[in-house]
Structures are given as C-alpha cells and as structure tokens.
Amino acid sequence: MKPIIKYILQSLSFVAVVAVTVLSFPRYNTSFRYHVEQGKPWGYESVTAEFDFPIYKTDQQLEAERKQLMADFAPYFVRDTTQGLPDTVLIVSLTDMDYLEQNAFESISVLSGRTSVRYPVWKVLTPKRAYERYKTELTPTVVLDTATTAFMQEQLMSSLSLTQGVVQQGQKIIDRGELVTEEKAQILNSLEKACLANDEITQHQRTLSTTGRTIMVGLYLALFVLYLFIFRRKYFESLSTVLFFSILSTLVIVLSCVLLQYSSFSIYLIPFAWVPIITRVFYDARTALFLHIVTVLVVSLIVPAPVEFFFLQVAAGMVAVSSLSDMTRRSQLAQTAGWILLTYAIAYTAYTFASTGEYSAISPRMYLYFLINAALIIASYGLIYLFEKTFRLLSSMTLVELTDINSELLHQLAEEAPETFQHSMQVSNLASEAAKAIGANALLVRTGALYHDIGKLVHPEYYIENQHGGHNPLNDMEPKEAVKTIISHVTEGERIARQHHLPEMIIHFITTHHGNSLVRYFYNSYVNAHPGEEVNKREFRYPGPKPSTKEAAILMMADAVEARSRSLKEYSEEEIYEMVDSMIDAQISDNQFSETPLSFKDVEDIREVFKLRLLSINHHRIAYPTLNK
C-alpha cells in the first residue's frame, strides 16, 4: 500500500472514532446536564431551584395508585328485563365471568335508568350455576356494557394526580457529595422534566455544544496519536494497528453511551479494563495504559460524578496492566479480574469516605456492579480471540499452544526428520536465552525456532543432519541444481506453514532465517569447477527477505552457530568462541541485519550467551571406571 493512501486511511480511522463518539453521546437536556443515579453521592455542583416546579410521582407510585383506584372500581352492566326475573338474580355469560375474574373485581354496577346499583361479585352466577340453583335453563340477565365501563375507567384515571407537592424557587435541592436518596432522585427527575418542558434550544446552542464535544474528543485522540508518533512509530505506521486501537476504544465508548442513554444501570457495569487488557496481550504496557486513560477521559465527559469515575477507572487500568505482564495461561485473566475487583472495591470505599465522611453514603449495589464487571473481564477471552484472528495478531497463549511438540506439524517433523527436529529444539533454546539477555520476546523466538526448518519435511534426506553419514543425494547433482534444492526448504516451509494456518509472525521466521545470504558451499564448488566464468551470485542466494526484527535476527544467528557447532572437531572454549564470532561476523559483513533494530551491545550480548550456552552443552564428561576382572 502506498504511504499516502495508508496515512489517509489512518487519518480517516481517527476521524471516524471522533464522529462515532460524538454522535453516540447521550442527548442530555441543555438546561439539565446531570445524570441522576440513586444511591450514589452527587458528583456535580449544588443544585438550587431557579423556578417553581411540581414534584412528579414516580412510575411505581402512579402504578400503585392506579391499582388502588381499580380495586374500588365496579364495571358496568345493563339488565335484560325480558325474562321477568327479580333484580337480585344476576346471571352473566362465561365470557363476562372470565373478565370479572381476570381483573379481580369485587363488585359490579348494574345500570337502571340514570342510576346504578352495586352488587358483590359473589352474587353473580353463570348459566350453569343458575341451572344448578333454580333447576331451569336461564340466559344471562345482565350484560357487560363495555362502552360505559371504558368511559368510567377513563374518567377515574383522569382524576389521578401526576404530582405531589411543589418545589419553590430558590429552594436548595442537593449539595455536592450528598447522597442521592429516593426522595432526592424524585425531585431531580422532576426538575429534569420541568427543564425539558421549558427549554428552548436554538440551533446556535446545538452547534456550539456539538463543536465543544468534538474538540474535546479530538484533543484526547490527538494526544494518543502524538504519543504513537513519538514513542511508538512502528504502531503509528501500521494501518492494522491503528484500526485495532480505534475499534477497541470505540467499542467501549459506544457501550458506555448506550448504557447511559437507554438504561438506568450504573456505568460501572461497563468493563473498561477490556481496553488495557486486550491491548496489553498484543502490545506493550505503556501503550495499553495510555489508550485506557484516553478512553476513560472521553467517557468522563458524559458520566455522572466524573472525578470518582476517572479515579476508579485509572486505578483499575493500572492494576490490569501490572498484573498481566505476559498472559500465557487463561487462568491469568481470572487472576487479573480478581485484582481489578479488589481495586474497584477499595478505591470506591476510600473515595466515598473521603468525599462524604459518611458510612451511609456507601451503596452496597456498587459492589454487585464491580462483581459483574469482573465477570465480564473474564469473558474478554472471546474478544481476545476475535481481535487476534481479525487483525492477524499473536498472543502469548497462542505461542504457548504452538510450542506443544505433540502438535500435528511438530510431531510430523520429529517422526520424518528427527535430526532436523533436534536441531530446531537446540536453536530454540539458544535463541530464547539470547532474547532474554537483550529484552526481546523470548517466547516468540522460541516458537519461531521450532518451525523455522519445517520446509525440510519435503525432502529430509537431502539435508546432512538426517543422513547419518550415509550417501548424500546432493553430490549427484550439479551445484546449481543442488543449491535450488537446498534453498527450496524456505519456500516449501512457507507453503507448509500457510497450509497449516500458522500466524504471519511465525512465517516471518521461516522466510528470514537465512535472509538473502549466499549458500557458500555450492557457490564455491561451482566457481572451482568453472574457473574464469562470471558467476551470478543471485543464483546461489536465498530469496530473503532479510530479518526485520530483533527476534528474527537472533534466530538467524542461533541457526547458523548451532549448525556450525555440529561440525567442530573439538569442543574447547577457544574453538567455540572462535566459531561463534566468525559466524556472526560473516552475517554482519554480509549486511544481513541492516533492517533490524539491533544495537552493537545487543550483538555482543547475544555472542556471549551463545558461547556460554554452547560451552555448557558440549562440556567434557568424566570417564566412568570399569571393574577389573
């Protein structure tokens, strides 16, 4: 992809984050910019009534009063006088009886001219019960008057008052830090309704409000982009990485906006720790914490009690990053969730005591929210897998799974090319030790080393480690043909790796472990056999590319020195040290590490590890004495 197109797409991704975030923000009333959360301390400034407004009853109060009114209500019936029965004989159809029973009416009103007479429901009979009592077939004597009943119910409900009391202008409603009780919440919700009824928002105000939100969100994201540009240029220049950060942050922000806009649940149900945890699994701790803080700052613009929210979420993010240094087991996610739960509980309790000084300000429901939050954090394993597959990333858990030598591919290598497998194991040990010494990813290079030679599965007999001193088929070939056979293990390795769906990072080790180095054995053989001929060195070079990471460079060195160590006649300290230096110097002089971030000190540390490791592997053992006969 051309750089200009990549930068345009990166810019568009950040613009999209700003746009989606601003559009998702809850549309609070401009005169009432508060989010009321019962049972929590009031996190805004003191609120005083600027005008008289009624206190509206809650939905629960209205429902209770409706039920009370309906309990005293009697549906209206009209009498059928054609049967000539006494007025006290009340017979209704089965349908009307079902209506009375389902609504639990205690009485009915029977219309008689302009008046009505009430009768208890227990006096009402169905035709079957009337027959049992009077021993004769009778039809209904009263019939439900649905029109009159509906009209009278409507009149009754219209008499129900929606308010209870009035708040006078200048009356203080709530102070900062005061607990939002059920009564206070009812008054604040009534104020919101009154503001909504009186609020006249001009287009100019709407534009300024949206502009302000856009600038704030854009500022926070710009700071994150600046961080990437200065400290993590590699992330900044990767389009997939930028999209990863954008999607992860936007996911949590949009979930928060939806929760605040369409539900009365606490914002602490949203697992904000998803951001640092998922980022830390694939990237570094510093970036994870920075992205988490930016996400929390954006959401702080819309939550109630933003100071408390920011304090708790930053503490949780710091614990998430610290407790998940390298997730190689699923159980670590549960441990991290436990630490975050404990952090939330301690931070919330401490903040509430500090801001209110009251035991009563503690809401037990908050601890339930924190517990649910921790459960959602454990469930983030599914998200980790989704992001890993979507963005072709590589988690430590996947690397651990790939290092299982009982896996199909490694088991096949051990069976069909056992010496190549042993070589890969030795290279894996060497490379991981060197990676630890210079702060590189030891688990990654260990995994890459196990798979770097899987291309030799195609023709394992062509490689000297699998020949056990027998006939070498390459000796029967011309040098140019033989070198193609040797080089092909790189391309064949890539093919096999893709066939088995190995991650791109592992495939990178396969394609770069020889770089574009010269296959000197066959090159020298050809030059000696064709003196005076101008030889094209490209025909005797591996296809590359060169290593581009510290880990790939370490593997290239480890592969070379381990293979060369097998040909040493004497495993003395001098021989091993000279061999390691000569092999690495040859690779450096061949410019194989020009695209890696290795420093001179890194190379020296790697040399030292290889020397000590090879010396310990090939140390002299004492000869055991035999018994004299």
**Residue 202 in this model has a pLDDT that exceeds 70:** no
* Final residue in a domain of this structure, among 390, 421, 439: 390
Q: Give domain status of residue 503, yes or no.
A: yes
Q: Are residues 372 and 413 in the same domain?
A: no
Q: Are residues 314 and 371 in the same domain?
A: yes
The residue-averaged pLDDT of 234-242 equals 89
More confident site: 4 or 482: 482
**Residue 288 in this model has a pLDDT that exceeds 90:** yes
Rounded Cα distance between 359 and 352, Å, is 9
More confident site: 584 or 44: 584
The residue-averaged pLDDT of 212-236 equals 92
Q: Give domain status of residue 358, yes or no.
A: yes
Q: Are residues 386 and 407 in the same domain?
A: no
Residue 321 has what pLDDT? 93
The residue-averaged pLDDT of 458-471 equals 77
Q: Give domain status of residue 535, yes or no.
A: yes
Least confident residue range of 270-284, 522-536, 550-564, 600-614: 522-536
Query: Which value, to the nearest 10 degrees, does the dihedral of the CA atoms of residues 535, 536, 537, 543 take?
Result: -150
Average pLDDT of the chain to the nearest whole number: 88
**Which tokens in the block code for residue 553?**
């460079």
Q: Are residues 352 and 428 in the same domain?
A: no
Residue 218 has what pLDDT? 93
The residue-averaged pLDDT of 248-257 equals 95
Q: Are residues 315 and 250 in the same domain?
A: yes
Rounded Cα distance between 107 and 116, Å, is 12
What values do phi and psi take at 54, rounded to 5?
-80, 155
Q: Are residues 272 and 357 in the same domain?
A: yes
Rounded Cα distance between 326 and 142, Å, is 80
Q: Give domain status of residue 527, yes or no.
A: yes
The residue-averaged pLDDT of 27-47 equals 70
Rounded Cα distance between 172 and 49, Å, is 6
Q: Are residues 355 and 421 in the same domain?
A: no
Q: Are residues 385 and 407 in the same domain?
A: no
Q: What residues make up the domain containing 364?
A: 3-26+204-390
Q: Are residues 382 and 405 in the same domain?
A: no
Q: Are residues 377 and 252 in the same domain?
A: yes
Rounded Cα distance between 509 and 449, Å, is 7
pLDDT category of residue 220 using cuts at 50, 70 and 90: very high
The string of DSSP letters for 448-517 reads: HHHHTTGGGGSSGGGSGGGTTTS--GGGGS-HHHHHHHHHHHHHHHHHHHHHTT--HHHHHHHHHTTTT-
* Final residue in a domain of this structure, among 390, 415, 449: 390
Q: Give domain status of residue 178, yes or no.
A: no
332's CB contacts (< 8 A; 6+ apart) are 323, 324
Least confident residue range of 20-34, 116-130, 329-343, 415-429: 20-34
Rounded Cα distance between 407 and 384, Å, is 22
Of the chain, the percentage scoring pLDDT greater than 70 comes to: 94
Q: Are residues 420 and 516 in the same domain?
A: yes
Q: Give domain status of residue 559, yes or no.
A: yes
| Tens digit of each residue's pLDDT (9 = 90 or more) over 549-607 | 999 999 999 999 999 998 888 888 889 999 999 999 999 999 999 999 999 999 999 99
Q: Give domain status of residue 313, yes or no.
A: yes
Q: Give domain status of residue 58, yes or no.
A: no
Whether the Cβ atoms of residue 451 and residue 492 lie closer than 8 Å to each other: no
The predicted model scores a pTM of 0.70
* Final residue in a domain of this structure, among 359, 390, 421: 390
pLDDT category of residue 523 using cuts at 50, 70 and 90: confident
The CATH number linked to 584 is 1.10.3210
Q: Report the domain count for the chain.
A: 3
Q: Are residues 117 and 252 in the same domain?
A: no
| Tens digit of each residue's pLDDT (9 = 90 or more) over 51-83 | 888 898 888 888 888 888 888 889 999 988 777
Residue 350 has what pLDDT? 94
Residue 612 has what pLDDT? 93
pLDDT category of residue 628 using cuts at 50, 70 and 90: low
Residue 271 has what pLDDT? 96
